[in-house]
Structure 1
Amino acid sequence: MDFSSFNFETSLQEGLDAMGFEKPTPIQEKAIPEILAGKDLIACAQTGTGKTAAFILPILNKINKSGSQNLNTLILAPTRELAIQIDQQIQGFAYFLGISSIPIYGGGDGVVWEQQKRALETGAEIVVATPGRLIALLAGGKIKLDSLEHLILDEADRMMDMGFSDDILTIVNYLPKQRQTVMFSATMPPKIRQFSMKLLNKPEEISIAIGKTAEGVTQSMYSVYDTQKEELVRHILSQKAYEAVIIFASTKEKVKSLYKVLRKQFEIEAFHSDLEQIDREKIMSAFKNKSVKILIGTDIISRGIDVVGIELVINYDTPGDPEDYVHRVGRTARADKEGTAITFVNPKDQYKFDRIESLIGMQVEQMPLPDGFEAGPDYTRGAKSSKKSTGPSNKGGFNKKKQSPNKPRKGNLPPRRNSVDPQKDTQKQSKSPEQAQKAAKPAPKKESSPESPVTSKYGKRRNVIDPD
């Protein structure tokens, strides 16, 4: 089918034709008719499949058809980057319709706050907001949602992980009960399904390739020690003049550290939560127009950026959540393009990568380390969690002469001594009767403390990206 099959309003269809939109993606093909019919919907599809257009297009069509000029639709997103991205796509589609939208997010200064309030006062049909900032505006009486007809929750799984469930319920209390609610998510854990029942009314369900990566992604992994990662990423980036690369690290401290090393050799920028909003927008703009070739950041950029032509994604650190891997890898091979994803797996993260392979339903090819690198750790599928990570003593784990795999690796810890040492045990002195009687008494029982409340991996109700 093509977009004309949806019978969109003439102005919207003409806009799609002008932008070169011909055939809808599978999620668009299934979701758009349900939204046009006014049904509540919970939709799940992998990243990079056109989910944003799947809810923007039918909403724009409904607003254009009704002629409404009041606040009609609220879209909630977990991060400011995603809110900005959605707003930009709305502006692109709505250019031919005269429909306006406003992004509402935290992290800016007082000037940004005033701009957002003035924009709300002038009116808009669509508001795209992060939960924290929206609650602040609602509490201050700066925004009224009485006329709202549509509530869209994008990246619902991410919002749940970030502890936004209470905030979302608070926002819903301000909304009319008679509304259409649509929830989009890249994954569908039980908590999302349970939460959806609180918000949606007899929803239709759509699931497309849950937990799968795009077919156009060539995935591989290296089994490495942490000391080898820095040299390996330099080696990979030196093999080709890449136009667009994203490197994911586990913490902003590691992002900053690796940025200082790589900027001496490559056109690279670091993207993290310590940057001011204006700086983050400048960096993202430079990356989109290819004046910056390489972007390094945390999972803050695994969702909410839609950059065409990302050739390579490098997981400098193995993501702790298998679903985060899907989102990271989803930055490349978007819209039926091709791309490459490489993951560095150290010994203590082997069990994490085993969980990733279970989620995506495939074994990722292990690549041999390049010539000149010392042998990496043995990779064992089904590995248990380990806190130890040993490796070569030299920084980078790089030698001119390749070490034979049969020789012991430098820096390995000596074999762990058996906790039961027969020779030492025979040398122990026998205890006196008084000592034996004292040792035989049972230790007093300690009172058990109540269990701590369950929190998400980001902490209870704390938005680490958007503190407002």
Structure 2
Amino acid sequence: MFAARYDPTGSKNISTQEKKEILLKKLKNKKNIQQNDEIIPEKDHDGDIQMENEDNEIAEETNNKRKREEIGSDSEDYSSDSSNSESESDLDSDSDSKSNSQQIQEDDSINIKNAHKSVLTRFQKVMKKQPLVNGQDEEIEEQNIEPIEVKDVAPLPQLQLPRDKQLYSQIHKNQNLDWLTKPAYYDSTTTKPFIEFKPKIEDIILKNLKNEFKIENAFSVQITLIEELLKDLKRNKLDPTPRGDYLINAATGSGKTLSYLIPIVQQLLTNGNKIKDLGLSAIIILPTKPLVQQVYSDLLKLTKGTDINIMALKSGGDLSINEENKRLKSNLINILITTPGRLVEHLNLNSINLQNLRFLVVDEADRLLNQNFQDWCDLLMNKIENNDNNDTFNNDIDKLFKLRCIKLVLSATLTTNSEKLTHLRLFKPRLVIVNSDNQQELYQLPKSLNEKVIRITEKLSYYKPLILLNLFKWIDKFDNKYNNFGIIFTKSNESTIRLNKLLNELNKSFGLNNKIDCINSMMNNQERNKILKNFDETGGILICTDLLSRGINLTSIKFVINYDLPTSTKEYVHRIGRTARAGNSGNAITLCYGEGEFKWFKKVVYSGKQINRNNKEITDIKFVKDKNDINNEGKEKDNNNDNSDIFELNLSDSDKEIYEKCLKDL
């Protein structure tokens, strides 16, 4: 054996090397077989041992082992025989060894595959149970996911809202009163004698109208409201069905006060019972104490010669609140005139019996609803409705057929604000607009009123009182003077007092005889009434605030001057409405200093087409401050044949010195 394997000549080195490789492979195969024999059988996922497969694999491995041993022995014999044989060549031995080695390699590869077959099968089973790799999983999911349709991010289409004529915006509602009821327009130029009214007015009322008020013909608003109310009162004697409330919008000075006073007095006189037993039949609410005093005076004249009891509630009056409370609880008052603040005090004291209330009048309604004193409106409406509801459970048949209280809401600038009007809780309201030519504007100016504006440079605003004093000396092209029976409107109580003192000082310094006085809210009623009476009889200049812009009925007023600009269109209408009343002529002048005030004036007066001027325009008075400007204006006037007015202002140095001195003395 040793001789056969050792070759000192080195002729068979290649075959020997191949033999070594074969032996090494055999050793490796034996080790693998031993390791496979020691493998513990695993359990499958069901817990059963795979015994049959392993037995078969062991049998195959033993057969392969036997084959390898046989091949090894044959190769040894073959090598010994070949070494002793001298006839075979080296080339044949090499080819035989190569063929044997290739066959052994093929058998080893087969044995390796068979030896690891069980391991591979188990590995394949385990891998089938494992989740897919992330990359593979995502690829499969991407293949299975359907493509998403890409859409724009525009908003989804919405259903179209139904079109309804009743779906108005709040702004649209506040432009007019069409949302509440359809207006009825009446011509402001219509007149009619009181004696021709149907139903007929009581003789004692006609007598007092002629003797106390010096009137025999009614204006348009009086014709409309008086006749309609008298018809309602006549129907209700047989039919208690309520007819509805009234909203009255008429120009200042059109006679609104008498339009509601006459029906109230008529109802009390024709009731059929004693007036003393009727109790409280009417409440008239007014915004200011001067207006309360004026309506109270008109009622005293209208009820002269009757047993009707009238009471005016006002703070600072002749009676204290306790004395007023006693008189009201006596149930002898038929008509109550009051401001909202005083009314709330008595409602809280439960001193007012609303059981027989037939009329509720809200005069100057826009101002009263804007200044809701202590929620007077809701408080009063709750009292009236609670009283009506409690009476319906009374077994008395008279209570079951109780007549509803009629609400009369009046103003020259009636509010169109839906939120404010709802506080009045109107029932079937009827809107009456007294307007010329059936125009759609809610604010109506008297036809005999002329509006004027004077634009003055802002540099001269320091001499504003001195310019006003010169205006008293001015005469327009129609020979109208502005120094007697006129009202000057300012912005505050302090400005009225200061301007009054300064103008009186300037009067003395310049040797003028203008009669100037003032009225403000800090005065008591007696002092105020005295000044108004004196002004109405003897004339002069009266300086006041917007306190007198509401309801003061003085037909003697010839002109109004807006010394300070009004704060709103409504205030402008009420201010200039103090003149040209009851068909008399009147003028209204507004002073504007600088472009800023003039723009504000245009915004207040011209905006929104709210004012009906009866096809008239505001006259722009040309302002000149020296003689050169006067001459130039005169030349332009001749060339253009212009008949416009010119306000001439000649302020000398001495005039300015006197003005400065008066300011220091003040």
Q: Aligned match of 1:15 in 170, 194, 208?
A: 208
Partner of 1:346: 593
**Residue type of the partner of 1:315?**
N
Q: Quick check: 1:319–1:352 contact (8 Å CA) kept in 2?
A: no
Matched, 1:170 2:379: yes
Partner of 2:444: helix, strand, or coil?
A: coil
Partner of 1:48: 253
Partner of 2:66: none
Partner of 2:495: 254
Partner of 1:277: 525
Partner of 2:269: 64
Quote the offset at 1:213 in angstroms: 1.6
Matches within 5 A, 1:46-125: 46-66=251-271, 67=273, 68-69=275-276, 70-106=279-315, 108=316, 111-113=319-321, 116-117=324-325, 119-121=327-329, 123-125=332-334
Matched, 1:195 2:195: no
Quote the offset at 1:10 in angstroms: 2.5
**Separation in 2 of the partners of 1:195 and 1:330?**
24
CA deviation profile, 1:372-422 (whole Å, cap 9, x unmatched): 4999xxxxxxxxxxxxxxxxxxxxx96349xxxxxxxxxxxxxxxxxxxxx
Matches within 5 A, 1:28-43: 28-36=222-230, 37-38=232-233, 39=243, 40-43=245-248
Matches within 5 A, 1:148-163: 148-163=357-372
**Residue type of the partner of 1:369?**
F
Partner of 1:274: helix, strand, or coil?
A: coil
Q: Quick check: 1:12–1:97 contact (8 Å CA) kept in 2?
A: no
CA deviation profile, 1:283-337 (whole Å, cap 9, x unmatched): 22322332x6221111011013111210111100110111111111111110000
**TM-score of the superposition, structure 2-length normalised?**
0.53
Quick one: structure 1 residues 93 and 142, their matched pair in 2 at CA, closer, same or farther if it must change by over 3 Å?
same
**Residue type of the partner of 1:306?**
N
**Separation in 2 of the partners of 1:236 and 1:261?**
15
**Separation in 2 of the partners of 1:138 and 1:197?**
17
Partner of 1:300: helix, strand, or coil?
A: helix
Matched, 1:235 2:470: yes
**Residue type of the partner of 1:28?**
Q
Quote the offset at 1:115 in angstroms: 5.2
Matches within 5 A, 1:283-362: 283-290=531-538, 293-347=540-594, 348-354=596-602, 355-358=604-607, 359-361=610-612
**Separation in 1 of the partners of 2:585 and 2:202?**
33
Q: Quick check: 1:35–1:41 contact (8 Å CA) kept in 2?
A: no
**Separation in 1 of the partners of 2:318 and 2:193?**
46
**Separation in 2 of the partners of 1:173 and 1:160?**
16
Q: Quick check: 2:329–2:353 contact (8 Å CA) kept in 1?
A: no
**Residue type of the partner of 2:433?**
S
Quote the offset at 1:227 in angstroms: 2.4
Quote the offset at 1:11 in angstroms: 2.1
**Separation in 1 of the partners of 2:299 and 2:520?**
26
CA deviation profile, 1:73-120 (whole Å, cap 9, x unmatched): 0001111111111111111111133322111122x1685445534543
Partner of 1:404: none
Corresponding pairs, count: 378
Partner of 2:261: helix, strand, or coil?
A: helix
**Separation in 2 of the partners of 1:140 and 1:374?**
70
Q: Which has the higher contact order (CA 8 A, sep 6+)?
A: 1
**Separation in 1 of the partners of 2:287 and 2:318?**
21
Q: Quick check: 1:35–1:59 contact (8 Å CA) kept in 2?
A: no
**Separation in 2 of the partners of 1:340 and 1:302?**
15
CA deviation profile, 1:37-79 (whole Å, cap 9, x unmatched): 1542111111110000010011111111114331110001111
Q: Aligned match of 2:651 in 396, 399, 407?
A: 399
Mark the structure with the bigger radius of gyration.
Answer: 2
Quote the offset at 1:256 in angstroms: 1.5
**Separation in 2 of the partners of 1:23 and 1:60?**
18
Matched, 1:143 2:352: yes
Q: Aligned match of 1:365 in 609, 613, 619?
A: 619
Partner of 1:308: helix, strand, or coil?
A: coil
**Separation in 2 of the partners of 1:165 and 1:400?**
54
Partner of 1:336: helix, strand, or coil?
A: coil
**Residue type of the partner of 1:235?**
N
Alignment gaps of 5+ in structure 1:
376-396, 402-468
Partner of 2:181: none
**Separation in 2 of the partners of 1:104 and 1:185?**
21
Partner of 2:124: none
Partner of 2:574: helix, strand, or coil?
A: helix
**Separation in 2 of the partners of 1:13 and 1:369?**
50
CA deviation profile, 1:103-158 (whole Å, cap 9, x unmatched): 1122x168544553454356221001101011111212333222211111101011
Q: Quick check: 2:280–2:333 contact (8 Å CA) kept in 1?
A: yes
Q: Aligned match of 2:430 in 179, 185, 204?
A: 204
Partner of 2:193: 2
Partner of 1:25: 219
**Residue type of the partner of 1:64?**
L
**Separation in 2 of the partners of 1:190 and 1:10?**
38
Quick one: structure 1 residues 325 and 373, their matched pair in 2 at CA, closer, same or farther if it must change by over 3 Å?
farther
**Residue type of the partner of 2:621?**
M
**Separation in 2 of the partners of 1:169 and 1:33?**
30
Cα RMSD of the aligned pairs, angstroms, is 2.5
Quick one: structure 1 residues 374 and 168, their matched pair in 2 at CA, closer, same or farther if it must change by over 3 Å?
farther
Which shifted more, 86-95 or 65-74?
A: 65-74
Q: Quick check: 1:357–1:364 contact (8 Å CA) kept in 2?
A: no
Q: Quick check: 1:34–1:41 contact (8 Å CA) kept in 2?
A: no
Quick one: structure 1 residues 165 and 133, their matched pair in 2 at CA, closer, same or farther if it must change by over 3 Å?
closer
Q: Aligned match of 2:504 in 247, 263, 269?
A: 263
Quote the offset at 1:197 in angstroms: 7.1
Quote the offset at 1:253 in angstroms: 1.7
Quick one: structure 1 residues 165 and 141, their matched pair in 2 at CA, closer, same or farther if it must change by over 3 Å?
closer
**TM-score of the superposition, structure 1-length normalised?**
0.75
